[in-house]
Amino acid sequence: MNFKIRAATQDDCKDISRMITDLAVYEKMPDQVKISHKELERDGFCPNPFFKCLVAEVSEEHKTKEGHTVVGYALFFYTYSTWKGPSVFMEDLYVMPEFRGKGIGKGLMSKVAQVGKEKQCVRLQLSVLDWNTPSLDFYVAKGAQDLTASEGWHLLRFDGEALDKLANEAPED
């Protein structure tokens, strides 16, 4: 099947938002999505965007029964490793179920890697839920290292009240 990987535009935000919701349902966390296409437009297409995004697009002849031609996305941003230097973090990689197994996911991930290499990034990082063995197997088959298994890293998060409390403990300027 022919598909095209391209940089997302502001006009793609409704499709990206739709697929973010689909991914959250797949990951059994649909109630966790708190943003809409408006926040994606604001945060990804401003003078200093918080993220970059690629979309996979199929031709009109292969569009979904709902009429969608944007069938996958990869959302990523740049980070910095104090040990290695510039890095790219892929927050999401999603392909609609009926388009999986056609090389679209690999194409999106490879393009993120290429964009990262062009920015002198030395690594591509991502996280996967522990029960999501199809995705974990996909990434490992492509050469990813499972750092939880090999190095024992844990992914931690501050949000909500914990983030507020931590921020309020900051020393005065």
- Segment 122-162, tens digit of pLDDT: 999 999 999 999 999 999 999 999 999 899 998 889 999 99
* CA separation for the pair 149, 145 (Å, rounded): 9
139 is catalytic: yes
Active-site residue (options: 26, 78, 80, 139): 139
d(CA 79, CA 67): 36
pTM tops 0.85: yes
Q: Hey, which residues does 49 pair with through a beta bridge? A: none
Residue 59 has pLDDT above 90, yes or no: yes
Q: What is the DSSP secondary-structure string of 34-57?
A: ---HHHHHHHHSSSS-S-EEEEEE
- pLDDT score, position 138: 94
Residue 63: is it exposed, middle or buried by C-beta count within 10 angstroms (0-12/13-18/19+)?
A: middle
pLDDT bucket at 38, cuts 50 / 70 / 90: very high
In CATH, the number for domain 3-148 is 3.40.630.30
**Phi, psi dihedral angles at 111 (to 5 degrees):** -70, -40
pLDDT above 90 (res 1): no
User: At 10, is the pLDDT very low, low, confident or very high (cuts 50, 70, 90)?
Assistant: very high
To the nearest 10 degrees (0 to 180), the angle between helices 37-44 and 13-26 is 120
Check: CB of residue 55 under 8 Å from CB of residue 16. Answer: yes
Residue 154 is predicted with a pLDDT of 85
Average confidence (pLDDT) over 105-117: 97
User: What is the per-residue burial (b if ≥16 Cβ within 10 Å, else e) of 64-98?
Assistant: eeeeebbbbbbbbeeeeeeeeeebbbbebbbbbee
Residues of the chain with pLDDT > 90, as a percent, come to 95
pLDDT for 76: 98
How high is the mean pLDDT of the chain? Answer: 96
> Does residue 3 have a pLDDT over 90?
yes
What CA–CA distance (Å, rounded) separates 77 from 68? 26
Where are any strands of DSSP class E within the chain? 3-7, 52-58, 70-81, 85-95, 123-125
